[in-house]
Structures are given as structure tokens and as C-alpha cells.
Amino acid sequence: MEHPATSECARTGLRTISSEIWALGFVSLLMDVSSEMVHALLPIYLVTVMGASMVAIGTIEGVAEATAAITKVFSGALSDWLGKRKLLAIIGYALAAVTKPVFPLASSVGWVMAARFVDRIGKGIRDAPRDALIADIAPPDLRGASFGLRQSLDTVGAFVGPLLAIGLMWLTSNQFRIVFWVAVLPGALAVGVLALAVREPVRPADLRQVRAPLSMPELRRLGSSFWLVVCVATVFTLARFSQAFLLVRAQGMGLPTVLIPLIFVVMNVIYALAAYPAGALSDRVNRLTMIIVGFSILIAADLVLARAGSLPGVALGVALWGLHLGFTEGLLATLVSDTAPPELRGTAFGMFNLAGGFALLAASLLAGMLWEIFGPQMTFLTGAGLTALALAGLGVVRWRVPTLGGNQKTQTEEDAMSSQS
């Protein structure tokens, strides 16, 4: 008979995670390589080549993310109604891939904004069904590790992309449009991997059919624990703004244009290294404890970035920013999976991302205005203050609902297990 401790260790290893989740992770990696080759250069391209203002950058980033968030509601609900996730994920990734050529062809800020808008529609279509698909595939005791693995691979792409951008900018003597054209290739490859390597699990025969996912009765079925997660995540998102401001902060400290993508590299290396261990650890301890740590790290990052007087100070702040992402992004998604009924997971991820998208729009607009009026210090100090407010709110939630984040199976999962016993 296998020793329990040995069995538990085996269950937490990377080899126990489904090949479909690995494939979804590599799909995310490839698409992030494509996207970040563009996004790592886009803010500087807009400012130095197209003459855009910081308010314009904040508006572009905020509107783009809000567009994705709104789309996620409908794609997530549609995946619940259809009982299928993969088709919508393919459509979303394909739409993002075919919009990549618009960036090198754009002749004005308006074209760039349109490209970002359509690209984010693709993201909105794919994200909620993809996350619901991960939750459908992963067993409850490996859910944190599964989301953490996908997030880590996604983030590997987020720093490989800027590294490629740096190399190509050097080789081409800062020819932005050539880099943007090369970014088309990994996006197309991502769609191919998803189509060929990911199989959708068979829907359980006894799982309830959802006829109107966005109706009030169905939204109430999501439960109070889920809506508490949404409230916590929304307040937290208000404390964060577009990472484009990190790039501009580094440039203001004298970082050469060709090295600007290093900011994303530093941030995402830390993020990638932290996401899987944080997710795997959350399968053993209370997830809210891990998220509280992540909130605290963001406060430290904002304070460092506000007071930074040199590039090393900015680098430390960026590293802390990446660490906080590792402790929060995948875990918040895992909490959604833990609290939402299986037949409504697509809708749950859609509502979760809708609230976060509008909060990010508000945060990015606020950050842009503060930067223009008061300077970068006030922008980051305001972020620290809002994060402290979110942290206090999270402490109250943990006190009022001590079981939230305690890695309990959803009621539907418990009922299913009971019926099988």
C-alpha cells in the first residue's frame, strides 16, 4: 500500500497535471510572445513616433481592457449555454492573431486604438471559456497548481516577447514596424496548437443544463461566496493601473528606448517564477492568506516606484510588481473556480472579468490624469493607498467568511461526490 505522504507528494507534482492544461499553457505562452512584442514597445511608440499624451495612453489601455471585460461576460455565458468551451477559445485566439498586422500598418493613434480594441475583443471571447475549461479539466486538489502552471507559461511568453523585441530593435536600428510584423508569427502558431492539442472533456450527463446564464435566477445561483470574491478583486483592481506606466517611469529615469522592453522582462520573469509555486501552495493552505501577501507586496512596489530616484530603484519596484502578480492573478481565478457551480463557470469568469475590466478602465484613466497633473510619484502613492484600502477590506471578508479561500469543493461537486458514494 502506498504511503499517504508519498501519494500526496506525487499528486502535487507537475507530471500529474493534465496534458490539455499544459497545451493551454503553451497556447497562452505563444500568444503572449506575439502580444508582448507589440505591447512592450507600444507606449513608447505612441509617445515618441505618434506624439500621443499620457492621458491618451491611459485611455487606449483602459478602453481596450474594458472592451475585453465586457466581451468575456457574453462568451462565458455562451459557453455555459452551449456546454462547450474550446470552439469559443479558438475563435478568440484566431481573432487576436489576425489583428496583429494592423499594428505595423497603423498610420495614426486612431488606428492603433482600433487594433487594440479588436485585439481585446479576441481576448474577451477566449479568456472566460478557456479558464472555465481549465476548471472543468483540473481536479479540485490540483486546481491551484493548474491555474498557476498556465499563468506561469503565459508569463514566460510575456518576457520572451520583450526579449525578442529588444533583439529585433537592436538588429533593425529601432525599426518598430519590423518588430510588429514578426509578432504575427507566434500568434498564428498559438491557434494551431489549441486546435490540434486540446481536447474538451465530455460534459457529465447529470450536469444541469443552463438555458439563460445571464438571468437573475442563474446569477443568484452563483452564490454569496462568489460575489464576495468579485467584490474583493474589483477593489484590488482599482488599486492597479496599466503596466504601460511602468515603462514610461523607466524611460523617465534614463533607460534607453532599445532597452525599454527589459522592464517587462524583469517583471515577468519574477511573475513566472512565482505563479506556479503560489498556486500549488494554495492547494494546501488558505488561498486568501496567499492573496493578502500579494496585496502587501503591491503596496511595497508602489512605494518603491514612487520614491525611486534611479534605475535600480525602478528595477526593484518592477520586480516587486511582478511578485505581487504571481501571488494574486492565478489565485483569484482559482477562487472563482472554487466558488462557482460547474455549469455556470463560464458565466462566473465573465462576470468576474467584467467587474475587473471596468475597474481597470477607471484605474488607468485616474493614473494618467494624476501623472499629467501631479507627476509619477502621486500616481504610485495613490496606488499604494488604494491597495491598503483593498487589503483592509480583504481582512474584513476573511473575518466575516472564514471558510472563503479554504479550498472547499463547490456544493455541486460535493453533491456529485455524495451521489457516487
The answer as to whether 207 is a domain residue is: no
CB atoms within 10 A of CB 37: 31
What's the CA gap between 288 and 228, in Å, rounded?
12
- Looking at residue 259, its pLDDT comes to 80
- Looking at residue 11, its pLDDT comes to 46
Per-residue burial over 143-153, b = 16 or more CB atoms within 10 Å of its CB, e = otherwise: bbbbbbbbbbb
- Looking at residue 300, its pLDDT comes to 93
Contacts for 370-375 with beta carbons within 8 Å, 24 or more apart?
371/54, 371/58, 371/245, 371/248, 372/53, 372/54, 372/55
The answer as to whether 209 is a domain residue is: no
From first to last of the 421 residues of the chain, give the pLDDT tens digit: 344 443 344 345 677 888 889 999 999 999 999 988 887 787 777 777 676 666 776 677 667 766 776 788 889 899 989 888 899 999 999 999 988 888 888 777 778 777 888 888 898 899 889 999 998 888 887 888 889 899 899 989 877 888 888 889 888 887 888 888 999 999 999 999 999 998 888 878 777 888 888 889 899 898 888 888 888 888 888 888 767 778 778 887 888 877 877 787 788 889 989 999 988 888 888 788 888 899 999 999 989 988 887 888 888 989 999 999 999 988 888 888 888 888 899 999 989 988 887 787 788 788 888 888 888 888 888 888 888 888 887 777 777 666 666 654 444 444 444 333 3
- Looking at residue 191, its pLDDT comes to 94
Domain that holds residue 385: 19-200+214-413
Cβ–Cβ < 8 Å for 14, 149: yes
Nearest alpha-carbon partner for 93 in 220, 229, 190, 223: 190
- Looking at residue 201, its pLDDT comes to 84
The answer as to whether 6 is a domain residue is: no
Count of domains observed in the chain: 1
CB atoms within 10 A of CB 386: 22
Q: Whole-prediction pTM value? A: 0.75
The answer as to whether 311 is a domain residue is: yes
The answer as to whether 359 is a domain residue is: yes
Which CATH number does the domain housing residue 233 bear? Answer: 1.20.1250.20
The answer as to whether 421 is a domain residue is: no
Contacts of 157 (CB under 8 A, 6+ apart): 28, 29, 30, 31, 32, 33, 36, 186
Task: Read off φ and ψ for residue 16, nearest 5 degrees.
Answer: -85, -10
The answer as to whether 118 is a domain residue is: yes
To 5 degrees, how large is the angle CA 320–CA 323–CA 329? 130
The answer as to whether 402 is a domain residue is: yes
